[in-house]
């Protein structure tokens, strides 16, 4: 990598991330925690893996699934590969530089037990004009949005396979429609709030391929106690503790 930043993502895992791009954040941590109990075996595909944060968190926390990370940006794919090897997961976390649409080339149809994804959450015409290319591709739907990512997930998931995503609440309908169009039925939702009396900032969703109707809303998650956003809630402390074992 031409330039990187070293980030500690749990007690044991240290990763390198490209300078000037998306860094390890709350959305990846929450998605890893949301999906982890269901990643006990088989193959999990992380579409848009970035620097490999979600697979590395899950593997370090004892997840039994093996991972394929699909990442369109070469610099991030190289970082994810280096991070997998340097943290001792090179044999369980394979990284390919490819677009979401090319996922099927590296994961044959109907073979994945699970898919995790943190897709771009802004329209291509949204965002700051001075954003660099790495940031724009990661945040905006330049190389595909929920429809593209769900179509890729639907192809590689086996019947009964699970799909996990983190997304923006104000665009939830876009995600849910894309899931159903690709035979992934939304089954479990958790809304994430910065703190009490604030609007939700994220949503976590689990879907199952070829499942019937039946949606469960889980207990809301609050990141901070109080409006000053200085102290993590007991819920967030438990999540961090899960990855510190």
- Contacts of residue 179, defined as CB under 8 A and 6 or more positions apart, other chains included, come to 150, 163, 185, 186, 205, 207
Q: What is the mean pLDDT of residues 178-206?
A: 97
Supply angle C-alpha 70, 76, 77, rounded to 5: 45
Q: What is the pLDDT of residue 140?
A: 45
Strands 43-47 and 112-117: parallel
Q: What is the pLDDT of residue 5?
A: 87
Q: What percentage of the chain carries pLDDT values higher than 70?
A: 89
- Output the average pLDDT for the chain: 90
Q: What is the pLDDT of residue 142?
A: 57
CATH classification of the domain holding 232:
3.40.50.150
Q: For residue range 18-36, what is the model confidence (pLDDT) as tens digits?
A: 887 777 889 999 999 999 9
Q: Which residues form the domain of 86?
A: 4-242
Q: What percentage of the chain carries pLDDT values higher than 90?
A: 78
| Res. 203: pLDDT tops 70 | yes
Cα–Cα distance for residue pair 238/117, rounded to 1 Å? 22
Q: What is the pLDDT of residue 126?
A: 57
Q: What is the pLDDT of residue 144?
A: 62
Number of domain units in the chain = 1
Q: For residue range 72-118, what is the model confidence (pLDDT) as tens digits?
A: 999 999 999 999 999 999 999 999 999 999 999 999 999 999 999 99
- 């967030």: which residue's tokens? 236
| Residue 224: pLDDT band with limits 50, 70, 90 | very high
Instruction: State whether the Cα torsion 136-138-139-143 is positive or negative.
Output: positive
Q: What is the pLDDT of residue 128?
A: 56
Q: What is the pLDDT of residue 182?
A: 98
Q: What is the pTM of this model?
A: 0.91
Distances (CA, A) of 131 to 26, 126, 145, 209: 21, 11, 18, 36
């Amino acid at each position: 990598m031409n330039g990187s930043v070293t980030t500690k993502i749990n007690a044991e895992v240290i990763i390198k991330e490209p300078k000037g791009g998306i860094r390890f954040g709350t959305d990846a941590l929450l998605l890893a925690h949301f999906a982890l109990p269901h990643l006990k075996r088989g193959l999990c595909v992380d579409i848009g893996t970035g620097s490999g944060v979600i697979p590395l968190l899950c593997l370090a926390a004892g997840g039994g699934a093996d991972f394929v990370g699909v990442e369109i940006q070469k610099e991030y794919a190289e970082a994810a590969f280096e991070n997998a090897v340097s943290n001792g997961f090179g044999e369980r976390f394979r990284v390919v530089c490819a677009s979401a649409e090319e996922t099927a080339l590296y994961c044959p149809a109907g073979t994945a037990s699970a898919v995790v994804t943190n897709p771009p959450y802004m329209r291509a015409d949204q965002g700051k004009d001075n954003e660099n290319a790495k940031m724009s591709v990661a945040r905006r739907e330049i190389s595909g949005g929920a429809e593209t990512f769900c179509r890729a997930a639907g192809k590689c998931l086996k019947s009964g396979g699970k799909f996990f995503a983190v997304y923006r609440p104000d665009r939830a309908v876009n995600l849910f429609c894309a899931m159903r169009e690709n035979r992934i039925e939304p089954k479990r939702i958790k809304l994430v709030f910065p703190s009490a009396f604030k609007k939700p900032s994220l949503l976590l969703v689990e879907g199952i391929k070829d499942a019937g109707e039946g949606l469960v809303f889980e207990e809301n998650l609050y990141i901070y106690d109080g409006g000053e956003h200085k102290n993590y809630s007991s819920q967030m402390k438990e999540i961090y503790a899960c990855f510190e074992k």
